[in-house]
Amino acid sequence: MRKNLLVAAIAAFVAQGAFAADVYPELSVAAESQEYVSGEATIVNTNFVSETAPGVLGVSVDLGFSIGNATSKYGLFRLTNATFSGSPEVKPASEAEYATLSAGGDSENYAIFEIAATQPSGLAQDEALTLGFPALTAEEGKDVSVSYTLYGTAQDAVDNIDTGTGGLASSTGVLFSLASAVNGPAFADPTQEIALVASEFKRFGPSDYTADFAEIDASDLIGQYDSDGDGSVDAYRKDSTLAASYTSSALNVSDATITFSGDFSFGVWSYNNLEWYVDENGEMVADSGVTVNDDGTITIDQYQSSKLSVTTGTSDDNADVAIKGSYSAVLSGISFYKTDSASVDSSADPISQEATLGSISYDTTSIEIPYLTTYSEYNQRVYLTNTSSQDASYTTTFLTESGVTVTEGVAATGTIPAGEMIALKAVDIVTLEGKTRTSATIEVEAGVENLSAVTQTVNLNDSSTDTIVLKID
């Protein structure tokens, strides 16, 4: 099972109204470290000790309304897309003043504090409040925001727990985000390799028989940020909480493997100079260092940064037909060294990461024929119309029941002239042994908007006809 890799991208608040919107202290994140695999995560508020040390996610906000001596008002802090982990704390700037947690806090998305004024002068509206908390549990792939509202009574605060509306003063801002990166940080963007209909899907270019997929580079699992704003860059694990800091040489791939999923029944596949392929007897042949798994996946026993590739052949005479489909990989067994240490961090389990590497598609439009028959008492034809200004090449593939042998006919491949219709007899498209029916897919080198297709089947006994408009996509 894939283990999601998680990290918080911490960003400063946008100041709004009375909300000072300062992350305390300020933490900047490198531009290249903004996207991470999504998932629920507990974000540790580094350096949080107590109300006097609120941590890197501490929030400062103006009180917004004065509080007279020996009286109290109630501050409601609400989280969106997160809950508190542990008890939050609030402290006014004036040392003699205090705030007490009255409701919410741990495991809740809100916290209500009684803010009391104990000095004769009371608390001014620009009194700064500081919110601190041990940790937050954030939801998958969402911005985490915090709002503050000051109420005159505890009942008013309780009545507005779900909305945070009303009140004497209020403001909000984004605290951080747990962003989503579908492909994962250790993988390049997926590639789309297109097999050409003109080569009967054996080539990926005029003379190119090789397709390369996304490069895998585990070093991308190490992110960078300026942890104290001094211009020096630290390293950290992109799957970790903010609390885990590592050196730039933190990656340990000595036990790492890569497992590929996809259709490997054609061509010669390779990764980092290791090869595997299906031989003429239908058996998978693999180099030492490549494991063929029972479920059809392929495991490279020792990770190296490289690309997955397939070569269909060296010429159209000996090349295999490339099969449409997607390819993915799981990078497993990666661990991390401790900061300034040669020992592996035993407190951090080795991680796994899955991502799509790419796909093979055809430069065609597909026409699905659910029922094609060569039964002697039927006369079936397929009518293909090309309204474009260019001739359109086509090929046909077949999917049959068990025990049926297919032999392509002369009409299984060909060309639909520009602005014309062609009629293909089923018996010219295919010869069937074992049964007289099959399904078929015609791949045409033309756009959907320029094609139409129907089948017409005539019963030779009673001259009845059955006409079906075919699906094109």
Given a cut of 60, is residue 26 above it in pLDDT?
A: no
Report helix, strand or coil for 215. strand
CA 215, 221, 227, 233 dihedral sign is negative
Cα(152)–Cα(371) distance, integer angstroms: 75
pLDDT of residue 232: 44
In this prediction, residue 301 has a pLDDT band, given cuts at 50, 70 and 90, of: very high
| CA 366 to each of CA 70, 324, 441, 471, 472: distance values in angstroms, whole numbers, following the listed order | 79, 12, 6, 8, 6
Question: Is 89:131 a contact under the CB 8 Å cutoff?
Answer: yes
Work out whether strand 306-311 and strand 325-336 pair parallel, antiparallel, or are unpaired.
Answer: unpaired
Q: Give the tens place of pLDDT for each residue, 308-351.
A: 999 999 999 999 999 989 999 988 887 655 444 444 544 455 66
Cα(9)–Cα(221) distance, integer angstroms: 14
| Structure-model confidence comparison of residues 127 and 153, the more confident one | 153
Cα(446)–Cα(160) distance, integer angstroms: 60
Cα(266)–Cα(321) distance, integer angstroms: 7
Question: Is 66:124 a contact under the CB 8 Å cutoff?
Answer: yes
The DSSP string of 58-87 is EEEEE--S-B-TT-EEEEEEEEESEEEES-
Could you tell me the two tokens for 193? Answer: 């390799």
pLDDT of residue 341: 44
Question: Is 193:359 a contact under the CB 8 Å cutoff?
Answer: yes
Query: What value does the mean pLDDT take over residues 102-120?
Result: 93
What is the DSSP secondary structure assignment for residue 317, as one 8-state letter? T
Q: Give the tens place of pLDDT for each residue, 409-454.
A: 999 999 999 999 999 999 999 999 999 999 999 999 888 888 999 9
Could you tell me the two tokens for 414? Answer: 């060909």
Q: Give the tens place of pLDDT for each residue, 43-98.
A: 656 555 554 556 656 677 888 889 998 899 999 999 988 899 888 888 776 755 67
- 413's CB contacts (< 8 A; 6+ apart) are 200, 393, 394, 395, 396
Q: Give the tens place of pLDDT for each residue, 246-298.
A: 444 456 778 889 999 999 999 999 999 999 999 999 999 999 999 999 999 99
Burial (CB count <10 Å: 0-12, 13-18, 19+), residue 58: buried
The mean pLDDT value of the chain amounts to: 78
Report the predicted TM-score, pTM, of the whole model to 2 decimal places.
0.50
The DSSP string of 136-196 is EEEPTT-EEEEEEEEESSHHHHHHTTTT--SSSEEEEEEEEE----TT-TTBPPPEEEEE-
Given a cut of 70, is residue 304 above it in pLDDT?
A: yes
Cα(74)–Cα(216) distance, integer angstroms: 53
Question: Is 146:43 a contact under the CB 8 Å cutoff?
Answer: no
| Structure-model confidence comparison of residues 420 and 362, the more confident one | 420
What is the DSSP secondary structure assignment for residue 386, as one 8-state letter? E
For the chain, what's the residue count?
Answer: 473
Question: Is 387:419 a contact under the CB 8 Å cutoff?
Answer: yes
Domains (range + CATH), the chain: 9-177 (2.60.40), 191-362 (no CATH), 365-472 (2.60.290.11)
Given a cut of 60, is residue 17 above it in pLDDT?
A: no
Report helix, strand or coil for 429. helix
Report helix, strand or coil for 197. helix
